Structure 1
């Protein structure tokens, strides 16, 4: 059983968002990382790139598959986790802390209302 921090919002596509001062820190959930297996490569956008909600912003490559990562909110990338790009295998060590992928300056904070809470996401991935 995985833990899902209650201060985060979750997308159907297994990304999470933590919002502080109008900036969304985006990563992928422990469940998604577990499903992928050992992660060997990350492709993330440049700072200054803008995305709409649902747009692909990068890829995560594991020994099992290459998966797209989707922007759970609309906005402009203001930071990229370069340390994680250099050591993608670290994604599983702290998915909700040091293993964030990008930070996006939010264009539409109301989009967060369409995302799932921790209990909703947990129910979705556990099949209950």
Structure 2
């Protein structure tokens, strides 16, 4: 998992936004070309573009959909289970960081930074690994 978090931080240092940093760190496990993931998540940085939901969290949520969706365009049958995953991811991130909102995490209004962007990226990458890829997480942490 440390390598996954390191990859996400390296992505950010290369100029990827927070969502891209997290989502692209899992391109191999998602079995989707990193360029495709990069393009899909481009508009979701800076707190989904305007300091709303943290981009790292958004990247984690995108990964959940990619992992869990049935892709059934007619029935949308996997949506309830995906939403349970989103809730689990959301609660884990919020428990660790007190907020999911970029401007709150960065202390824009309060001047009290709850977590840096790199910290949010590391946390989201780790939480995604534990919840979305539990077997991979276990194997990497033996």
Higher helix share: 2
Which structure exhibits the higher relative contact order, with contacts defined as CA atoms closer than 8 Å and separated by 6 or more residues?
Answer: 1
Larger Rg: 2
Fold in common (TM above 0.5): no
TM-score by length of 1: 0.31
TM-score by length of 2: 0.29
